[in-house]
Structure 1
Amino acid sequence: MDGVFLNGTVGVGKTTVADAISALEPAPHAVIDLDAVRRLHPAPASDVFNHELELRNLRALAANYRAAGARRFILAGVIEEAAEVARYTAALEADGMLVCRLVADPAVVERRLRARHSADPEGLDWHLHRAGELAAILDAAALDGLVVDATDAAPDEIARRVRAAAGWDGPPPRGGE
């Protein structure tokens, strides 16, 4: 596999774990926070989360990163439906992609969101609601190849587990492999 997709609800630690995987990864790689590549305001009514924009931007970024030498991709985002896994894999032009769902105790997620949105009460309310809603959606979808509890685990510990599950704990790929 040359792609890892960290999936999970808001506040679960996807970006933090992506950075931890990056710190351990010796192969040329790109870290992509999908929230950042879909920021367009206002979003069209037909695509309120800018999903289609995200995929178009991911395809372009992946091509540019590959041209610059990246052989592996670490994505932090949300996949709600099993059919979307193939679309992300295709956007990366990846040989395979491990979808790893991060989960955490709801009280921990709430604490993280309250810290992140301390000066934004409206945003906090939206994210607290979305966290529960999204957790239920992801539970029902059950599309992840690996599920890791991020409640108390250190990011580098989670990163090691994810890298092993993706087969990245061996020698890094060379050149065009």
Structure 2
Amino acid sequence: MRTPTPSPAALLITGTVGSGKTTTAAAVAALLRQDAIAHAVIDLDALRDAWPSPRDDPFHEHLMLANLHAVTRNHLAAGALRLVLAGVLEDPAQRPLYEQAASAPLTVCRLRMDLRDVRTRLRQRHHDDQDALDWHLHRSGELDAILDAAGVGDAEVAVAAEQAPSAVARAVIRAVGWNADRD
């Protein structure tokens, strides 16, 4: 009897700015690679990085979703079984659009980190750009509150400032049930 081919699945790692979404996505990919699971990592910020933004779409959501659809279609055609997305989903009403663009069932995992630690990371990241630092410091609290109110996550993982990305990735994989046996 032939073993059935697993169906593709998508994971969106979300959280406020500075919570470690992109770093965690890369660490999840490393674990998937160790397990020989075909996958792709997609940074949603890269898919929306264009200027200027339309007034009615300041974060280029429409552009990002169109790009996500094209990119995931190509990754799935190339054999990816797991799509690891790093980005922000603020509005639960947008979730079906993300899932449709990903062309696979979507699980959302929110990274939750103490805002004091987030702000420390942001100060390190933007130490040479005061305008970017000011914007990100303000946005971190604003976005954290938006995510609290929205409740878009299927799972949530607490992240400590000193926690290794691989440990966060293992916690995410466990939380979403992609590999419950990982330590």
Which residue does 2:160 correspond to in 1?
151
Where do 1:82-97 residues align within 5 Å? 82-94=92-104, 96-97=105-106
Q: Which amino acid aligns with 1:99?
A: V
Work out which structure has the larger RCO, using CA pairs closer than 8 Å and 6 or more positions apart in sequence: 1
Q: Which amino acid aligns with 2:67?
A: N
Provide the aligned length of Structure 1 versus Structure 2. 170
Is 2:122 the counterpart of 1:113? yes
Where do 1:113-132 residues align within 5 Å? 113-132=122-141
Which residue does 1:163 correspond to in 2?
173
The one-character-per-residue Cα deviations of 1:119-161 (angstroms, maximum 9, x if unpaired) are 1100100000000100010000112111111124322122112
| Structure 1 segments of 4+ aligned residues over 6 angstroms from their partners | none
TM-score, reference length from structure 1? 0.91
Partner-residue secondary structure (3-state), 1:98: strand
Aligned mate of 1:41, from 37, 51, 69: 51
Aligned mate of 1:64, from 62, 65, 74: 74
For structure 1, the residue ranges without an aligned partner over 5 or more in a row are 172-177
Preserved contact between residue 173 and residue 180 of structure 2 (Cα < 8 Å): no
2-side partners of 1:112 and 1:166: how far apart?
26
Identity %: 48
Which residue does 1:99 correspond to in 2?
108
Q: Which amino acid aligns with 1:62?
A: T
Partner-residue secondary structure (3-state), 2:26: helix
> RMSD between aligned alpha carbons?
1.5
1-side partners of 2:146 and 2:180: how far apart?
34
Deviates more, 1:8-17 or 1:80-89: 80-89
Q: Which amino acid aligns with 2:158?
A: D
1:164 CA drift (Å): 2.4
Which residue does 2:15 correspond to in 1?
8
